[in-house]
Amino acid sequence: MGGLTTAMFLFLIASGLSLIFGVMRIINFAHGSFYMFGAYLAWQAVQWLHPTGGRFWLAALLAAVGVGILGAVTERLFFRSLYGREELYQLLFTYALVLILGDAAKFIWGTDQLSVSAPPALAGSVQILGTTQPLYSLFIIAIGPAIAFALWWVLNRTGAGRMIRAAQMDREMLDALGANVATVYTVTFALSAFLAGLSGALVTPIQSIVPGMDVLIIVQAFIVVVIGGMGSLWGTFWGSVIYGQVLSFGILIFPGFSLFSVFALMAVILIVRPWGLFGRPL
């Protein structure tokens, strides 16, 4: 069960990372920072709206939108000037963001652990298969596939989504067809940031908000996307499931081993099938 919760919540985060990679061909290190900001903003929103609890969903939504806007602004102001430059510079830019956003969060919210309580409806626990599971964890497990379908629907059934997928496959062709590629990039970046912020906000009831959560999560999200295949929605989904299972089994076998095993799995995939289980060769 724990493996599934981890898997689904990783999927939420990794989906945005995979999306950005599919369209813009870069690894956004700052994705973890967006996630962290989503968590902090959710906490902040709860403080403003109703400090004693409640209004969780609104807070989460506000946080996600806030981070989405942050993403859009970042792309427009800074990232846009780096297109056409070497990928190394683009990657380093996202790393500069990690440094800046990390300290910004420390500056604004301090270094103490913060937490947000689960919405009353999901605050309890439930008996399943002889074990007691917190309701909220089950919610996370349920929302994973829900978001996956929602994303799939957006990407395949809406005009904007189709543009994004077209950009993923052939940038130049899209440009030649007259579509505004620049806008597609901004929208993709914003959507990716929104997803990161949303996952950050949604994770607050089960995980405390601390500095450093950005760095810890980005590595895991990265592994998931590598295993599943960069740019593939279902790849990210199954990649998260596999990651969750490997992690839980690893812990059962030998506690120290699980950490090693996820990185070893990442290395093996890159050696044998670099574009991941569901990805396409570049």
Partner 1 sequence: MTVAAKKKVLRRRVATAAALRSRAISFRVPWTLVIFVIMATVPWVGSRYDTFLAAQITIDALFAVSLNLLLGTTGLVSFGHVAYFGVGAYVCGILMKTYEVPFSLAFPAAGLGAALFALISGYFCVRLIKLYFAMLTLAFSQIVWAIAYKWNAVTGGDQGLPEIPYPNLDWMSAIPGCGDLSIGARFYLLTLVIVAVSLAAVHRVVRSPFGRVLTTIRDNPERAAFLGINVRLYRLAAFVVAGGLAGLAGALYGIFSRGVFADYVFWSKSAEILIMTILGGIGYFWGPPVGAAALVWLNQVITDYTQYWSFVLGVILLVLLFGFPGGIVGGLDLLWQRVKRLRNA
DSSP 171-209: HHHHHHTT--HHHHHHHHHHHHHHHHHHHHHHHTTTS-B
Closer by beta carbon to partner 1, 144 or else 231 = 231
From 54-62, 95-103, 113-121, 155-163, span contacting partner 1 (CB under 8 A): 95-103
State which amino acid sits at residue 161.
Answer: G
Least distance from partner 1 to the Cβ atom of residue 39, Å? 18
From 1-9, 102-110, 174-182, 233-241, span contacting partner 1 (CB under 8 A): 102-110
Phi, psi of 97 (to 5 degrees): -60, -40
Number of amino acids touching partner 1 (CB under 8 A): 39
Hey, what are 49's tokens? 């709206």
Please name the residue ranges forming H helices in the chain: 2-24, 31-49, 56-77, 87-109, 135-157, 159-169, 171-176, 181-203, 213-228, 233-253, 257-272
Least distance from partner 1 to the Cβ atom of residue 280, Å? 13
> Which of 83, 89, 149, 153 forms a contact with partner 1 (CB under 8 A)?
89
Pattern 104-123, partner 1, x by CB under 8 A: x-xx----------------
What is the distance between the alpha carbons of residues 40 and 74, in angstroms, rounded to a whole number?
Answer: 18
Closer by beta carbon to partner 1, 87 or else 142 = 87
> Which of 49, 99, 126, 173 forms a contact with partner 1 (CB under 8 A)?
99
Hey, what are 139's tokens? 């919610």
* Contacting residues for 113 by C-beta, under 8 A, at least 6 apart: 208, 209, 210
Which chain residues interact with partner 1 by CB under 8 A?
25, 27, 78, 81-82, 85, 87-89, 91-93, 95-100, 102-104, 106-107, 215, 219, 222, 226, 256-257, 259-260, 263-264, 266-267, 270-271, 274, 282
